[in-house]
Amino acid sequence: MRKTFSRERLREVIWDIGQGYPMPPRGDAIALLMVSPGMGHVAWHVSEQSAADARSAQGGAFAGAPLIARVYDVTDIIFDGTNAHMFFDLGAGKTSGNCYFSVGRQARNYLAEIGLRNNQGMFYPLSRSNTAFFDRDRPSGNYQTAGLFVGSSPGSVFPVENIFHAPVYESMNHQLAGRMGAGAFSVAAVFLEIVPASGFGGPLGHFIADLSMKTEKFARVRLFSSPLRVEDGLSDGSLLDAADELSASVLAEVRDAHGQRPFHIVHCHDWYSATIGLAFKEELGLPMVLTLHSTEPERLAGNEMSGLSLSILRREKEAVSAADLVIVPRPSTRQQVIDTYGAPPEKVVVVPDVLDEKAPDAPRDSAAGARGWFGLNREAPTALFAGEICHASGADILVDALPTVCRGHQTAQFIFAGEGPLRQELERRVFNEGIGHRCRFLGDVPRETFDAVLGASDFVVIPSRTGQDEGLARAAIERGRPVLTTRQAGINCVVHGENGLVTFDNPGSIVWGIQEMLHNPLQGGMIRFAARKRAGEALTVEIAALRHYMHYEMLLMSERMAPGDA
């Protein structure tokens, strides 16, 4: 039987248990914790006997010495009690207690000791704490967007370059559910690029090579690419003959590869590659995909058609008519293919070309690197004012705020880009306040170099008294720089607390805003906000490859479902 207790008995049991807690400490101990990236907490207990024994030890050298909690920076070292990078002391007072403290350096390892410190500065430790890591007050600079997509079928598992494209992969997974698995078909991609006899291929060739490589994570793709080198002054007929001669050579190569491992689709890029697709379709009945990165009317741009243009126009029309799917980079090109070449609208789809995926120039995109160009401290946070240095722009409000800001922050620095009637006065004021070495007045900055100035800043300040254009704020936000502005500026693209702060046009309010920018993790979040925005809006080669794969799948499914097919 289960034994039951009355409420009164349960209260007695709980009371008895509670009398034993908290359990009295046994021995000497100190514990160290991180409260926030800039604040720590130590708690200690030392028995009266331990303190008395320590004070009488070593010939009474510590007689009357107070208890001290000492905090050490032990980052990347094996601590032996004497080799810390630095340390500081906290007054302990009682044998049991706790204390909060601030740290000036983050992303460091700290530990603490409780002990006695005599008048000569000698320290006698009684107990040592654990080691605690104090993290940054902002997201890590290690910003990775790669991930792994896992679809509904076993075959649809593949690495992705940008996790912000997840909705696109989910859409693919939904549309292609139950169809062929990734890699179940093979594509022969053909691109015969016309290049000058003494030159090299252009961005289109690099894009097609990259596109083919990235499509291989979904299906097997083999790119057949060969340059059609054209001499200056080559006649119209010679150009067509040269294209046909090269096509015949590449066609033999594609036939040989097909004999070893059959292709399911042939994909030709532009008119000079289409001959190969037409031959394969006629000989083997393979479905043909044609990409027109531009049409002959687009390339002419309104100029009169020559005999060569008419011949190319006929070839493009023939290829469009024979192709099972036509891919174009723009809606305007799609409409032109439909109107000029008579293609059924359902056969023409748009997948933009991605011809410029170059990473930003590293020194310009690095605030620390750019600051060095202006003789500023590379490691110190930097604010930018850009515009006319006048009463309306609030440049004097910013200068009024700087002495207070600089007293509270030992390294903050400021760039003033622009000219105006107040420039000389404000320069004199910052030097008279003793902060001239932390300010740079650049004068008018040419448009072509302003990006470097923006890149040198961590945030932008627009302390205006009157309405301002949003151009500077939008440029800063696109670069991942938060914006501090005023309500009076009327800049609607700045959302308070998300991509910037909105204050009032007085020095006290600007002081608050700058201090928030210097100490608040908004800055790191803003950089990621901008990165997510760019990732969500911009088409990448990987997404272009995914769209090609989806169209390949749908084309093969339609071929299988055609009447008379088994």
- Domain-located, residue 211: yes
Q: pTM for this structure? A: 0.49
Residue at 83: amino acid letter: N
Q: Per-residue pLDDT tens for 460-493?
A: 999 999 998 888 998 888 788 899 999 999 998 8
Q: Does residue 348 carry a pLDDT above 70?
A: yes
Indicate whether 316 and 369 sit together in one domain: no
Residue at 102: amino acid letter: S
| φ/ψ bin of 508: left (φ > 0), alpha (ψ from -120 to 50), beta (otherwise) | alpha
Whichever domain contains 130, its CATH number is 2.60.40.10
Q: Per-residue pLDDT tens for 522-536?
A: 666 665 566 555 555
Q: Does residue 17 carry a pLDDT above 90?
A: no
DSSP helix/strand/coil, 35: strand
Tokens of 524: 């790191």
Using an 8 Å Cβ cutoff, are 168 and 546 in contact?
yes
Which of 323, 357, 391 is the C-terminal boundary of a domain?
Answer: 357
Q: How far is CA 541 from CA 166, 195, 206, 214, 375, in A?
A: 15, 23, 11, 7, 39
Which string of b and e fits 393-432 if b means at least 16 CB within 10 Å? bbbbbbbbbbbbbbeebeebbbbbbbbbebbeebbebbee
pLDDT score, position 484: 95
pLDDT score, position 375: 74
DSSP helix/strand/coil, 460: strand
Indicate whether 384 and 300 sit together in one domain: no
Q: Exposed (0-12), middle (13-18) or buried (19+): which is 562, by Cβ within 10 Å?
A: exposed
Indicate whether 391 and 504 sit together in one domain: yes
pLDDT score, position 164: 67
Using an 8 Å Cβ cutoff, are 448 and 416 in contact?
no
Please tell me the distance from the alpha carbon of residue 459 to that of residue 524, in angstroms, as a whole number: 11
pLDDT score, position 221: 92
pLDDT score, position 399: 96
Indicate whether 336 and 438 sit together in one domain: no
User: What are the start-end ranges of the E strands in 183-337?
Assistant: 186-191, 194-196, 220-225, 228-230, 265-269, 288-291, 325-328
pLDDT score, position 173: 73
Q: Does residue 552 carry a pLDDT above 80?
A: yes
Which of 357, 381, 397 is the C-terminal boundary of a domain?
Answer: 357
Percent of the chain with pLDDT over 90: 35
Please tell me the distance from the alpha carbon of residue 488 to that of residue 40, in angstroms, as a whole number: 40
pLDDT score, position 10: 81
- Domain-located, residue 455: yes
Q: Which of 268, 188, 196, 269 is nearest to 227 (CA)?
A: 196
How many helices, marked H, and strands, marked E, lie in the chain?
18, 23
User: What are the start-end ranges of the E strands in 104-182?
Assistant: 108-117, 123-134, 147-150, 157-160
pLDDT score, position 522: 67
**Secondary element (H or E) of residue 68:** strand 67-73
pLDDT score, position 303: 72
Q: How far is CA 386 from CA 259, 397, 427, 476, in A?
A: 65, 14, 15, 11
Q: Does residue 214 carry a pLDDT above 70?
A: yes
Q: Does residue 316 carry a pLDDT above 70?
A: yes
- Domain-located, residue 226: yes
Using an 8 Å Cβ cutoff, are 386 and 417 in contact?
yes
pLDDT score, position 229: 67
pLDDT interval class at 57 (50, 70, 90): confident
Q: Which of 374, 435, 441 is nearest to 400 (CA)?
A: 435
**Secondary element (H or E) of residue 70:** strand 67-73
pLDDT interval class at 440 (50, 70, 90): very high
- Domain-located, residue 93: yes
Q: Per-residue pLDDT tens for 131-190?
A: 999 887 665 545 566 777 776 665 667 777 777 677 777 777 776 665 544 446 899 999
**Secondary element (H or E) of residue 426:** helix 423-432
- Domain-located, residue 169: no
pLDDT score, position 542: 86
Indicate whether 276 and 401 sit together in one domain: no
Using an 8 Å Cβ cutoff, are 334 and 344 in contact?
no
Indicate whether 438 and 466 sit together in one domain: yes
Please tell me the distance from the alpha carbon of residue 510 to that of residue 492, in angstroms, as a whole number: 18
Q: What is 531-543 written as a DSSP string?
A: HHHHHHHS--HHH
pLDDT score, position 181: 45
Q: Does residue 360 carry a pLDDT above 50?
A: no
Please tell me the distance from the alpha carbon of residue 566 to that of residue 561, in angstroms, as a whole number: 8
Q: Does residue 448 carry a pLDDT above 90?
A: no
Tokens of 561: 């479902």
Indicate whether 346 and 368 sit together in one domain: no
* DSSP for residue 59: G
- Domain-located, residue 200: yes
What mean pLDDT comes out for the span 354-375?
54
Q: Which of 209, 540, 213 is nearest to 354 (CA)?
A: 540
Indicate whether 190 and 285 sit together in one domain: yes
Q: What is the mean pLDDT of the chain?
A: 82
Domain that holds residue 54: 13-134
Enumerate residues 6+ apart whose C-beta is below 8 A from 258.
188, 280, 284
Enumerate residues 6+ apart whose C-beta is below 8 A from 459.
383, 384, 476, 481, 482, 483, 484, 500, 517, 523
Whichever domain contains 443, its CATH number is 3.40.50.2000
Residue at 314: amino acid letter: R
Looking only at the bridges linking them, the beta strands covering 439-443 and 459-462 are unpaired
Tokens of 76: 């990347």
- Domain-located, residue 161: no
Indicate whether 511 and 382 sit together in one domain: yes
- Domain-located, residue 146: no
pLDDT interval class at 425 (50, 70, 90): very high
Q: Does residue 441 carry a pLDDT above 90?
A: yes
Q: Per-residue pLDDT tens for 91-145?
A: 888 888 899 998 888 889 999 999 999 888 889 999 999 999 988 766 554 556 6
pLDDT score, position 72: 95
pLDDT score, position 6: 81
Indicate whether 380 and 515 sit together in one domain: yes
pLDDT interval class at 317 (50, 70, 90): very high
Indicate whether 498 and 367 sit together in one domain: yes
Indicate whether 199 and 240 sit together in one domain: yes
Which of 311, 335, 357 is the C-terminal boundary of a domain?
Answer: 357
Tokens of 211: 């596109």
Percent of the chain with pLDDT over 70: 81
Number of domains into which the chain is organized: 3
What mean pLDDT comes out for the span 225-242?
68
pLDDT score, position 46: 92
pLDDT score, position 167: 75
Q: Does residue 364 carry a pLDDT above 50?
A: no
Please tell me the distance from the alpha carbon of residue 349 to that of residue 327, in angstroms, as a whole number: 5
Q: How many residues does the chain have?
A: 566
pLDDT score, position 508: 93
Q: What is 359-423 written as a DSSP string?
A: PPPHHHH-HHHHHHHTT--TTS-EEEEES--STTTTHHHHHHHHHHHHHH-SS-EEEEEB--TTH
Q: What is 181-216 written as a DSSP string?
A: PTTSSEEEEEE--EEETT----HHHHHHHHHHHHHT
